[in-house]
Each structure stands twice: as C-alpha cells, then as structure tokens.
Amino acid sequence: MSLGPLIPVTSADYRQRARQRLPRFLFDYIDGGSNSEQTLRRNVADFQQLSLKQRVLMDVAQVNTRTQLLGQEASMPLALAPIGMAGMMRRRGEVQGAKAAAAAGVPFTLSTVGVCSVEEVQHATQTPFWFQLYMLKDRDAVLSLMERARMAGCDTLVFTVDLPVAGMRLRDTRNGVVGGRPGSGLSRACQLAMRPQWLVDVGIKGKPHTLGNLSELVEGSNDLNAYKRFIDSQFDASVTWEDITWLRNQWQGKLMIKGILEVEDARACAELGADGLVVSNHGGRQLDSAASTISKLPAINEAVGDQLEVYLDGGVRDGVDLVKAVALGAKGVLIGRPWIWTVAAAGEQGLRDMLDVFQQEVATTLALMGVNSIDELRAEMVER
C-alpha cells in the first residue's frame, strides 16, 4: 500500500518537483548550462571532492550561524542570487522569493530581467534588497535603472560582468526558445498543455508577463519577445574596466562585482573601489569548460580578501556546501537554482522551509566540526 508522496526537503527534492510542474522549456531554462554543460557539472562535483574535518568533545552548546553581509545582518552567510524571469516559474516568483528571504533573514537579489519590478518587490516586502544590473549600450538606461533601484530602497548593486555575449545554451535551442526552428512553437504549446497547474498559476493569474524593470524602456509591450529583442540589442561587448569605474562613480551605494574567476580581475575590482565581488561562472551558463567557482575561491580570497568581501555562487546545493565555501574564504554564498527550483515547485512557503533546512544544516555541520560560529571556520578545516 502506498504511503503517499514523500515530503520535499532538499533542493534536489524541489528540483524534481519543479521538473514535474514546469513546461520543459522553462525547466530547462533554469536548469541548464552552456554547450555540453561541463562547467555546470564541475561546480557541483568539485564541492563533493572536499572533506570536512570532524572534531569531538569541543563544547558546541552555543552554535551561532549569524553574520553580516555587506553590513546587513543575516541569519546565515547566504543570499538569494538574481534569477532572470523568475516570475515565469511561479506566479510573481520574484515577490515570493523576496518574501521568503525576508522571513528567513537573508538578502534577496532582484534581476534586471525579473518579471517583477523593483517597485513591486519593495511594496510587497517593505525590506531592503539587492539589485542586479548589466551594462547596457544605452548608458542613460543604466542610470535610470540605478535610480529606480535606489528609490525602491536598494543600497547594494550587484553588477554582472561576465556577459559580453550570451553563452550557447543549447537546451534553449533544442526547445526552440532561441533560433526559431520549425515546429518549435507547436512543441512549446504541447508542453504548456501538459502543465495545467502552471497554466492557471502563471499563465492566467501571473500576468502581466513583462520584465518590470525594463517596462519604461520597452513601452507599450506585453510581449516577452519584444523584451528579448531589446535585451539582445543592448548587450555591450565593448565594456571595459573603464566603464565599471564610471559605474562606481555613479552609484553611491555598495557595489558588488559578479562574474570573477581570475585573480587579476579580482584585483581590478579592489582597485576601482568595489565593496565586494562574487566568484562566479554564471552558474555554468557562459563559458563552458571554465573552472568551478570553489576551485578558484582560495586564490582570489588570498589576493583581495583583506580589501573587499569575497562571495561565491555556483554549485552550492546545501548547508554543508555553504560551510565548505566559507571555510575556504567566502564571506557568504549566493544560491540560484536551489531557490528557483523550490519556488517553482512549492512557492514562498516551500522556500521558507528549504531555507530553514539550509540553516539547520549549517548549524549541525558547525557543531559536528567542533566550532560554534561562522567566524571560526578556517581553510585547514577542509581537506581535498
């Protein structure tokens, strides 16, 4: 006799639920990487190659996971990474993610290409959040987006620098999301018809299907294809460190540079006055065959960790991975796929539950390692 479905607990559990709930082309959009997805797999596999040292009889009765991230109090060293079009995975997905993050006491990062605007997220949460931005060819548009973010209470700008051109995300090509192959429209229509829950929750109740932060730049359009054409036209492959210096001069809040893998680029971040950087390969969605982020973290932290805060994203799937990253030098981690899989599968409450499990995993891992706080973690506690 069946006892019914298992209760989802881990990010992997929610990933499976998201696969079952989303149309395939949307699941592949958040799940996939570039080309043959080697970097995507390395991000996860290289965490699995790391062992933690277990110590016993160390008095761990007062374990504390709290920390500060860019001056903001956090319940654990974790933030939600920016996810493009999260509102297409669950009704007003960015708002649900932001509300869950606020309840959990961790920062939320809104993507430039989110369905929900900075104003909508601010109204729904009344909590400061981070805003992620790309460099657009239209510099006035960049200034406008920064001003909207500032007016919505954002004091931290997460600026992504590893997208001079879009990576080759072949799952999207296979699904007809890019390339416009014959029959792709019919294929997507069939996928939508097989997901009635999504059709009601997002397709009908989740409107408007626009990119809220770009609504002033793509006026009068409710067509996501129009937004895609605008974004494609605005990728600026000519951006250099001089442009980032210009950005630093324009933005008076905290600045975090996202997309750093090499020590030379980390030093450039420090020299221009960034407050932090994210060791990131865009979740394996840009240069395939790039190194994993956890393998690059120690050298970058050694080079600039005394000048700015070093963060990491890519491959973090649970609280144990988080502890490994912090021990190797990260001030904190950003998680992307785990939170969007969870929101897609179970909405705001599911994400609250998953973040609670994350924090319990961090606390338990610290205790079993014989340490009482995040600040006690050291690189020698990790073995390769």
In this predicted model, what pLDDT tens digit does every residue of 129-142 receive, in sequence order? 999 999 999 999 99
Integer Cα distance of 87 and 209 in angstroms: 8
Q: Given phi > 0 = left and psi -120 to 50 = alpha, else beta, which region is 299? A: alpha
* pLDDT band with cut points at 50, 70 and 90 for residue 184: confident
**What mean pLDDT value characterizes the chain?**
94
Q: What is the pLDDT of residue 131?
A: 98
Q: Is 123 a catalytic residue?
A: no
* pLDDT band with cut points at 50, 70 and 90 for residue 234: confident
Amino acid letter, 334 = L
Q: Which residue has the higher pLDDT, 286 or 219?
A: 286
* pLDDT band with cut points at 50, 70 and 90 for residue 100: very high
Q: What percentage of the chain reaches a pLDDT higher than 90? A: 87
Is the distance from CB of 329 to CB of 15 less than 8 angstroms? no
Q: Which of 205-214, 322-331, 359-368 is the least confident region? A: 205-214
Q: Is the per-residue pLDDT at 172 higher than 70?
A: yes
For residues 238, 239, 240, 245, the Cα torsion angle rounded to the nearest 10 degrees is 150
Q: From edge to edge, which strands make up the β-sheet containing 109-110?
A: 78-80, 332-335, 309-313, 276-279, 254-260, 156-160, 130-133, 109-110
Locate 81 and state its tokens: 């990474």
Q: What is the pLDDT of residue 2?
A: 44
Which is the catalytic residue, given 171, 254, 282, 285? 282
Q: Is the per-residue pLDDT at 36 higher than 80?
A: yes
Domain boundaries, the chain: 11-170+231-376
pTM reported for the whole predicted model: 0.95
Distances (CA, A) of 289 to 19, 44, 243, 248, 279: 26, 14, 27, 31, 16
* pLDDT band with cut points at 50, 70 and 90 for residue 1: very low
Q: What percentage of the chain reaches a pLDDT higher than 70? A: 97
Range 301-320 average pLDDT: 98
Range 286-294 average pLDDT: 98
Range 236-250 average pLDDT: 95
Integer Cα distance of 327 and 293 in angstroms: 14
Q: Is the per-residue pLDDT at 220 higher than 70?
A: no
Under DSSP, the state recorded for 52 is E
CATH number assigned to the domain covering 11-170+231-376? 3.20.20.70
Q: What is the pLDDT of residue 235?
A: 83
Q: What is the pLDDT of residue 176?
A: 82
